Amino acid sequence: MVAYNGRMDLVFKALADPVRRKLLDELADTDGQTLFGLCSRMIMRHQLAISRQAVTKHLLMLERAGLIRTEKQGRYKLHYLQTAPIADIYDRWIAKHRNERN
Amino acid sequence: MIINVTSIFVDDQKKALEFYTEKLGFIKKNDMPAGEYRWLTVVSPEQPDGVELLLEPDEHPAAKAFKKAIAADGIPVTSFAVEDAQAEYEKLKAKGVVFTQEPVQMGPVLVATLEDTCGNLIQIASMDKDASNA
């Protein structure tokens, strides 16, 4: 339970930042993107003046929280959305509440 | 002063010539022996007297390291203009060209990123018709 709460802290911290939520939005739109793909979407679709280094840091926080995973495919490193931690949030509060109402 | 040649580091000139002519549709412009390699350039059939793309050997260790590092992060080495990036994407994909980025709208531009089989990523981009008229 302690480990679970520790990870949940990371999840909520990761989700608390608007740039990181936009990165998740873009992966939900198209999964398996490169760092370049995500950087260009941040700049061109969200008008963010953000450096590649900053995006890399945000991605690292999302990865530590289990919200994304990275995979080396050939010569490319791709980023994938992982929804399990968000499903955990649903299970913890919403799923139970819905059952009670039903 | 004019820009007449720009270069791209390729791991194999013969393979590169095949890809850039047979897949992308460029035409060979210059092919001259240069030591153990060739001075090998291609041009667009739409602009045969335009800028030449030099298919330059990546035999320098730094060139190889550079290519490896930027490809890992998905960064294209250059960008080519096309009429319609969506149509071009579909045409090239049907020819077996691999894309690391499917067509995506970036402001007034539609872009996609493809692999050149020689260690590089190339972006293709088309400007929205409305935007270019504005």
Structural contact between residues B89 and B103, judged by C-beta atoms closer than 8 angstroms: yes
Q: Which long-range contacts (CB under 8 A, 24 or more apart) does B100-109 make?
A: B100/A34, B100/A37, B100/A76, B100/B74, B101/A33, B101/A34, B101/A36, B101/A37, B101/B74, B102/A30, B104/A30, B104/A37, B104/A41, B105/A45, B106/A40, B106/A41, B106/A44, B106/A45, B107/A44, B107/A45, B109/A44
**Cβ within 8 Å, pair A75-B76:** no
Domain parsing of chain B, residue ranges: 1-59, 66-134
Q: How many CA atoms lie within 13 A of B71 on its CB side?
A: 23
Chain B residue with the nearest C-alpha to that of A76:
B72
To the nearest whole angstrom, how far is the Cα of A42 from the nearest Cα of chain B?
A: 10
From chain B, pick out residues whose CB is under 8 angstroms from the CB of A36. Answer: 73-76, 101, 113, 121
Per-residue pLDDT at B133? 54
Give B112 to chain A, closest Cα distance, Å.
9
- Average pLDDT on A23-47 reads 95
Q: Does residue A30 belong to the interface with chain B, where contact is any CB pair within 8 Å?
A: yes
Q: What amino acid occupies position B90?
A: E
The verdict on a CB contact (< 8 Å) between B101 and A37 is yes
Chain B contact present for A77, CB below 8 A? yes
Q: pLDDT tens, position by position, for chain B (134 residues)?
A: 999 999 999 999 999 999 999 999 999 999 999 999 999 999 999 999 999 999 999 999 999 999 999 999 999 999 999 999 999 999 999 999 999 999 999 989 999 999 999 999 999 999 998 765 55
R_g of chain A, CA atoms, integer Å: 15
How far is Cα of residue A27 from the mean position of the Cα atoms in its chain? 8
**Residue at A50: amino acid letter:** I
Could you check whether B1-59 and B66-134 share the same CATH topology? yes
A70 CB contacts (<8 Å, ≥6 apart)?
Answer: A59, A63, A77, A78, A79, A80
Q: State residue A2's pLDDT score.
A: 46
- A44 contact B CB<8A: yes
Class of domain B1-59: alpha beta
Domain B66-134 has CATH 3.10.180.10: yes
Q: A61: distance to nearest CA of chain B, Å?
A: 17
By the CB < 8 Å criterion, does A40 face chain B? yes
**Which of A30, A34, A45 is nearest residue B73 as measured by Cβ atoms?**
A34
Q: Would you call B101 and A76 a contact, using CB atoms and an 8 Å cutoff? A: no
Q: Which pLDDT value is given to residue A1?
A: 44
What is the interface size between A and B, counted as CB pairs within 8 Å?
46
Average pLDDT of chain A, as a whole number: 91
Q: What are chain A's domains?
A: 2-101 (1.10.10.10)
